[in-house]
Amino acid sequence: MKNIESILYLLLFLPLISCNANSKTIASDTTKKQNTYVNTFKGDKVVKTDEEWKNILSESEYYVLREKGTERSFTGDLLDNNSEGVYVCRGCGLPLFGSESKFKSGTGWPSFFEIIKEGNVATDTDYHIGYARTEILCGRCDGHLGHVFDDGPAPTGLRYCVNSASLDFEAKRKP
Ligand code: FE
């Protein structure tokens, strides 16, 4: 009976909260819960209290970055941004993705095939919706960004699926 309830739950809620409708996740182990957080960021970390984050983030930014929320698909302000520049963490300003790696995934969330610099994005395994997905976080402030999947385009084959609320955009300055 419990299994049937779990299946019903998945059928009901997966389409609402998943950013990976037709893809496999990179993390494959759905049975073990272990410490899977990986962060190779070399600089000083940014650490703030919840109160301090609330003072500098909007409600929706706080919900996504600090409470691992997901904005509704096709609602983010950076989804259709095609300008040249750098996408930085909205929490701490760390550069995360370059505009040259942005592509249209059709998911409704800004999508990138690579990170701008090794170490700037941390990963963890997330069992939030009943199976394993690879969560991506800012390497410096641990703000939740979204998830990474293995159905992206060449050359990496990766798809970093990111909430607009987690990002700020810095346009390239004209010379
Ligand atoms: Fe950050």
Q: What are phi and psi of 133, to 5 degrees?
A: -130, 160
What does the pLDDT read at residue 1?
A: 46
pLDDT over 70 at 20, yes or no: no
| Amino acid, single-letter form, for residue 103 | F
| Global pTM exceeds 0.75 | yes
| pLDDT, mean of residues 120-136 | 94
Question: CA 64, CA 107: separation in Å to the nearest integer?
Answer: 17
What does the pLDDT read at residue 9?
A: 47
Token duo for residue 151? 């159905």
Question: CA 92, CA 59: separation in Å to the nearest integer?
Answer: 16
Angle formed at CA 95 by CA 85 and CA 173, multiple of 5 degrees: 30
Per residue in 45-82, pLDDT (tens digit) is: 999 999 999 999 999 999 999 999 999 999 999 999 99
Q: How far is the CA of 44 from the centre of ligand 1 (A)?
A: 11
Token duo for residue 124? 């963890």
| pLDDT, mean of residues 97-106 | 98
Active site residue: 19, 92, 141, 161, which one?
A: 161
Q: How far is the CA of 90 from the centre of ligand 1 (A)?
A: 7
Residue with tokens 């049937």, as numbered in its chain = 4
| pLDDT, mean of residues 7-27 | 47
Extents of the domains making up the chain: 2-171
Tell me if the domain spanning 2-171 has CATH number 2.170.150.20. Answer: yes
Q: How far is the CA of 9 from the centre of ligand 1 (A)?
A: 33
| pLDDT, mean of residues 82-100 | 98
Q: How far is the CA of 11 from the centre of ligand 1 (A)?
A: 33
**Confidence category of residue 128, pLDDT binned at 50, 70, 90:** confident
What does the pLDDT read at residue 129?
A: 86
Write out the H or E segment, with its range, that includes residue 171.
strand 167-171
pLDDT over 80 at 147, yes or no: yes
Q: For this structure, is 161 an active site residue?
A: yes
Q: How far is the CA of 51 from the centre of ligand 1 (A)?
A: 16
What does the pLDDT read at residue 33?
A: 57
Q: Which residues surround ligand 1, an ion (CB under 5 A)?
A: 89, 91-92, 94, 138, 140-141, 143
Q: List residues bridging with 169 in a β-sheet.
A: 87
Per residue in 149-169, pLDDT (tens digit) is: 999 999 999 999 999 999 999
Instruction: Name which of 165, 158, 173 is nearest 65 in CA terms.
Output: 165
Question: CA 26, CA 166: separation in Å to the nearest integer?
Answer: 21
What does the pLDDT read at residue 12?
A: 44
